[in-house]
Amino acid sequence: MIVKLAMIVVFFAITIVVGVLSSRSAKGVDGFVLGGRSVGPWLTAFSFGTSYFSAVIFIGYAGRFGWNFGLASTWIGLGNAFIGSLMAWVILGRRTRVMTQHLGSRTMPDFFGLRFNSKALRLVAAVIVFVFLIPYTASLFNGLSWLFSASFAGVPYWGWVIIMAVLTGVYVIIGGYMGSAVNNFIQGIIMLVGIIAVIGAMLGTNGGLTEAIAKLSESSVETAAGTQFNGAYTSFLGPQPLQLLGVVILTSLGTWGLPQMVGKFYAIKDEGAIHKGTVISTVFAVIVAGGCYFLGGFGRLYADSVTMNAAGTAPASFDTIIPAMLGAIEEGLGNGGAWLIGLVLILVLAASMSTLSSLAMTSASTITLDLVVPMSKKQKSEKSHMLIMRVLLAVSILIAAAIAILVVGNAELAKKLYISDLMGISWGALAGCFLAPFLYGLFWKKVTKAAVWVSFATGLGITLTQFVLNAVLKITFENPVLAYFCGSSINAGMLAMLVGLVIVPVVSLLTRKTAPEGVDDMFACYKKEVTVSVMSSLEENK
């Protein structure tokens, strides 16, 4: 207990010091929200990765899908690395940076308002961002609760929530985007070291990689006919390939439409930083995301440590699997286990605080710049904007903590609200609404206002319909297609994104009269000519 607490105290102290030292870069609105658009590749890449992978991934997704898919769940992590990170940087990075600077937009709702010349789109997008970041925040605290409850049985969960919320609030409110980015870099290093150490310990306590896989291959799946599917959890695609595909698409392609992720590209320094950041971000994702899901794939080896349901067929809560694994690993390591679990606790804290800071910054900046300022009758100064933003940052974090304590902290309710489902609702709604119009808006001049409105409507419609049918009315469907999409918020989120990618260009072609004016001038930013030195560019020999 002393070892764990000491490691956590040192971690907290570092985050506060970094926040204070970063306060110099948070003088104006651009500096506070975007770091002055001068953030280097390492900070941006680590900030992108740590915002991407939080306790939601480590505890919720790795536990649930590692149990359901076995080692095939590693495909989710690889999808996150190559689709959610590499392709996102290659396809969106440069265009997002150039276009948003040209338009002067600071948030995703601001982009929609300026790109499509519509204040209404900006306001509605801001409301969607604020509302649907709430379930993601709830899933974040839910992941934290299971691990800390297992590691500190005598300490109330709400105490840790308050501590994390206060400390995150301090360094973000003082240091702004740069304070968050520097802390994310430190937190990212902890995540890299932690996940490698945990995987090594897990394999070591199971006799090595070959022996661990051999043990896992003994697990079998009962089919509807009552037969046994042996070795499914060590197979290439696992026992449920279609379900696996849905998770890969939502968690990988979804980042392209999430305001807290795309916002990282707004702040990056220059072209060279984008190229370097692409490589760094991808490597980070391969290790962290790939490692988390690879670790979760061995969850069934610890079935004896997991509390099962009354029928004994599945865990009482999938969110208990990773904490149970860690408890068994700590016991197997003996005296050295305390140091490892201390490192894991800091890993989860680091992942959670980095994501919480990103969500809070996104919410506060969106509300301030896209709701409060446009609706204000009097012109406010930069200092007023900064004050409002800092107040709203504190309010956003307090709301997150209140949700965690009053809702997620309820043991019975937490058993019903799986982390993966909460995140599925959030990502499904946000990416379902924003991904298609944002992506097409960067590349295609002919996207219309009507198409953006339809994307917002279909994204919200699919997500909310699935939630009502499944969570509220608890309706089950015999039709396999309806059962697939209506039975899971993850699959519904995937559907919302894919429908948006199809419907935006179709509606745009049918509603050309609603195309915004001045689009040619907007896209001229991509053709701007610059002069470079010979050291930077060599002419081709003729």
**Cβ atoms 59, 148 nearer than 8 A:** no
pLDDT at residue 398, as a whole number: 81
Domain assignment present for residue 230? The answer is yes
Domain assignment present for residue 535? The answer is no
pLDDT at residue 512, as a whole number: 92
pLDDT at residue 79, as a whole number: 95
- Predicted TM-score (pTM) of this structure: 0.84
Q: Give the count of beta carbons closer than 10 Å to the beta carbon of residue 142.
A: 26
pLDDT at residue 227, as a whole number: 55
Q: Strand 220-222 relative to strand 228-230: parallel, antiparallel, unpaired?
A: antiparallel
> How many domains are contained in the chain?
1
Query: Tokens 């208990």 belong to which residue?
Result: 320
SS (H, E, C) 239-297: CCHHHHHHHHHHHHHHHHHCHHHHHHHHHECCHHHHHHHHHHHHHHHHHHHHHHHHHHC
Domain limits for position 163: 2-527
Domain assignment present for residue 539? The answer is no
Domain assignment present for residue 302? The answer is yes
Q: What 3-state DSSP class applies to 207?
A: coil
What one-character DSSP code corresponds to residue 231? Answer: T
Domain assignment present for residue 255? The answer is yes
Q: What string of pLDDT tens digits covers the 542 residues of the chain?
A: 677 778 778 887 888 887 777 776 656 666 676 666 667 788 888 888 888 887 778 887 898 899 999 999 999 999 999 999 999 999 999 999 999 989 988 889 999 999 999 999 999 999 999 888 877 776 676 666 666 666 666 667 677 777 777 877 777 787 777 777 787 888 888 889 889 999 999 999 999 999 999 999 988 776 555 556 678 889 888 888 988 998 899 899 989 999 888 888 887 877 778 889 999 999 999 999 999 999 999 999 998 888 887 777 778 778 788 888 888 888 887 766 677 777 777 877 777 777 777 777 788 788 887 877 777 767 667 777 778 888 888 887 787 778 767 765 555 555 555 566 777 788 889 999 999 999 999 999 999 999 999 999 999 999 999 988 887 788 888 888 888 888 888 889 899 999 999 999 999 999 999 989 889 999 998 887 666 565 554 444 44
Burial of 426 (0-12, 13-18, 19+ CB in 10 A): buried
Q: Shortest CA distance to 477 belongs to which of 499, 469, 467? A: 469
pLDDT at residue 199, as a whole number: 93
| Residue-wise burial string across 23-43, b where 16 or more C-beta atoms lie within 10 A, e elsewhere | bebbeebbbbbbbbbebbbbb
pLDDT at residue 461, as a whole number: 95
**CA–CA separation, 242 vs 296, rounded Å?**
19
Q: Shortest CA distance to 301 belongs to which of 214, 201, 210? A: 214
CB proximity list for 211: less than 8 A, separation 6 or greater: none
Domain assignment present for residue 533? The answer is no
Domain assignment present for residue 534? The answer is no
Domain assignment present for residue 541? The answer is no
**CA–CA separation, 520 vs 525, rounded Å?**
9
Q: What 3-state DSSP class applies to 117?
A: coil
What is the amino acid identity at position 144? L
- For residue 315, is it left (φ>0), alpha (ψ between -120 and 50) or beta? beta
pLDDT at residue 184, as a whole number: 80
CATH number at residue 272: 1.20.1730.10
**Cβ atoms 261, 48 nearer than 8 A:** yes
Dihedral over alpha carbons 416, 250, 61, 2 (to 10 degrees): -110
pLDDT at residue 541, as a whole number: 46
**CA–CA separation, 540 vs 158, rounded Å?**
64
pLDDT at residue 519, as a whole number: 92
